[in-house]
Amino acid sequence: MKKQVLFTETVLRDGQQSQIATRMPTSDMLPIIEILDEAGFHALEMWGGATFDACIRFLNEDPWERLRAIRKMTKKTKLQMLLRGQNLLGYKNYADDVVATFIQKSLENGIDIIRVFDALNDTRNLKTSIEATKKFGGHCQTAISYTTSDFHTIDYFVKLALEMEDMGADSICVKDMAGILTPEDAYSLVTGIKDKINLPLEIHTHATSGISEMTYLKAIEAGADIIDTAISSFSGGTSQPATESMALSLKGLGYETQLDMEKVAAVAEYFNPVRDKFRQEGLLNPKVKDTEPKTLLYKVPGGMLSNLLSQLSEQGLSDKYEEVLAEVPRVRADLGYPPLVTPLSQMVGTQAVMNVISGERYKIVPKEIKDYVKGLYGKPPVAISKEMTQLIIGNEELVTVRPADLLSPELPIYEKEIQEYAKSIEDVLLYALFPQQGKDFLGRREDRFYEVPIQKVNVKLAIP
């Protein structure tokens, strides 16, 4: 019997999010959906992450309509989304009633697999998402936010996978958003997890640092079941490795991929001119295709690198780039080694910039960092020192309970606030996640709201 490895195609979500800041409209997706559906992929990752925000802020699209349209055309392949646990698709914790209802409606509108992660690997922040996904009939894939430190050992991640299995996960994903999972660590990590749990294991990485194909190969040799790739048009650099290259290489090594390579080639032929259009419009920055070995040195995701450079350039301080890069790991250590994934990547990066440009570390501390130190985002992987806690929040009381336990039901409040424009519970959820942008979008749709222009400025990349 041939060894088998399955493929999740990311071009509709993470591939385009990583390279064109999620600006691909649904109209660029629909013409190729039927071929994607026939190509033999395990799943199409096409929703979640930054898609909601980009749809209503920049594309004047209803993200729920995108999901329904793609679902209608997809008969064979599972549809997958990325969810930030208690943060859903926003940047704060939502009450349990909002989380459960959002998951219910995501599944009812066409999602099959919900990949759920927490930026701190605090499984308390996954509890409601896991329970709701199971309750409403979805496949819950819990994701480990991979990072490195003296604390983040193979044993730590294996125990985390076991905890996720006990909580009801249907599969596990190792989510390497920075592209820093080395081939040797991938082999050890997959071996350790597969030795302890009997669930499908998926590996997600980015090509930023230049080692992703080797990482995938060693993970597969150790027993990984599924890998995430992007069609060549939107592959490489800050995205995933190319689907075709990985599939052809694995086939040569004796693996069965279930992919129809003629249809996969047709997908690439379709997306090549789509990519070129975004390049001509200036939305595809050539730098996102670059290999950045400094990722392995500073443990910073590629999208975060570009964000830092953008922040400094806007202030005429691009000469401080190397200094800020060196400050990022120091801030991360001060804050208990959080994985650099949304929203912590943005928070750590901003604090590093402030530390450098103010000339004094922690002279300026954003509210989000203070809330994090208080415990409002969850439990840091490593306890923050008393000295650092005192420096940032003084004598304020720390939160030790699950952060969402502090939140009363919110859905009735959102329903009341947006009742003039909402036609469905999906509209209410859209507003709940992005109140200002959601209200503007729904107002434009109803054509009885003040004139609200669509944003045209470039959005900074979220780290998926």
| Domain encompassing residue 370 | 300-400
pLDDT in the model for residue 190? 98
Please indicate, yes or no, if residue 184 is contained in any of the structural domains.
yes
290 is written with which tokens?
């670059």
What is the reported pTM? Answer: 0.92
Asked whether residue 268 falls in the same domain as residue 183, the answer is yes
Give, in degrees to the nearest 5, the angle at Cα 410 between 409 and 416: 130
Asked whether residue 177 falls in the same domain as residue 324, the answer is no
Please indicate, yes or no, if residue 435 is contained in any of the structural domains.
no
Asked whether residue 385 falls in the same domain as residue 276, the answer is no
Please indicate, yes or no, if residue 212 is contained in any of the structural domains.
yes
Q: How far is Cα 80 from Cα 441, in angstroms, rounded to an integer?
A: 25
CATH number, domain at 103?
3.20.20.70
pLDDT in the model for residue 196? 97
Asked whether residue 251 falls in the same domain as residue 332, the answer is no
Please indicate, yes or no, if residue 455 is contained in any of the structural domains.
no
Asked whether residue 193 falls in the same domain as residue 163, the answer is yes
SS (H, E, C) 388-402: HHHHHHCCCCCCCCC
Please indicate, yes or no, if residue 293 is contained in any of the structural domains.
no
- Boundary (domain end) residue, out of 242, 259, 287: 287
Asked whether residue 320 falls in the same domain as residue 171, the answer is no
Count Cβ neighbours within 10 Å for each residue of 242-275 and write b for 16 or more, e otherwise: bbbebbeebeeeebebebeeebbebbbebbeebb
Please indicate, yes or no, if residue 233 is contained in any of the structural domains.
yes
Please indicate, yes or no, if residue 237 is contained in any of the structural domains.
yes
134 is written with which tokens?
């199971």
CATH number, domain at 311?
1.10.472.90
Asked whether residue 158 falls in the same domain as residue 35, the answer is yes
Residues 6+ apart with CB under 8 A from 294: 300, 305, 325
> pLDDT tens digits, the chain, 464 residues: what are they?
469 999 999 999 999 998 998 999 999 999 999 999 999 999 999 999 999 999 999 999 999 999 999 999 999 999 999 999 999 998 889 999 999 999 999 999 999 999 999 999 999 999 999 999 999 999 999 999 999 999 999 999 999 999 999 999 999 999 999 899 999 999 999 999 999 999 999 999 999 999 999 999 999 999 999 999 999 999 999 899 999 999 999 999 999 999 999 999 999 999 999 999 999 998 888 878 888 888 888 777 766 776 777 778 878 888 998 899 899 999 999 999 999 887 888 899 999 999 999 999 999 999 999 999 999 999 999 999 999 999 999 999 999 999 999 999 999 999 999 999 999 999 999 999 999 999 999 998 877 554 555 554 444 444 44
Please indicate, yes or no, if residue 440 is contained in any of the structural domains.
no
For the chain, what is the domain count? 2
- Boundary (domain end) residue, out of 257, 287, 317: 287
pLDDT in the model for residue 460? 41
Asked whether residue 255 falls in the same domain as residue 353, the answer is no
pLDDT in the model for residue 457? 42
177 is written with which tokens?
């958003």
pLDDT in the model for residue 157? 98
Asked whether residue 312 falls in the same domain as residue 344, the answer is yes
Asked whether residue 76 falls in the same domain as residue 200, the answer is yes
Asked whether residue 102 falls in the same domain as residue 80, the answer is yes
- Boundary (domain end) residue, out of 236, 263, 287: 287
Asked whether residue 108 falls in the same domain as residue 238, the answer is yes
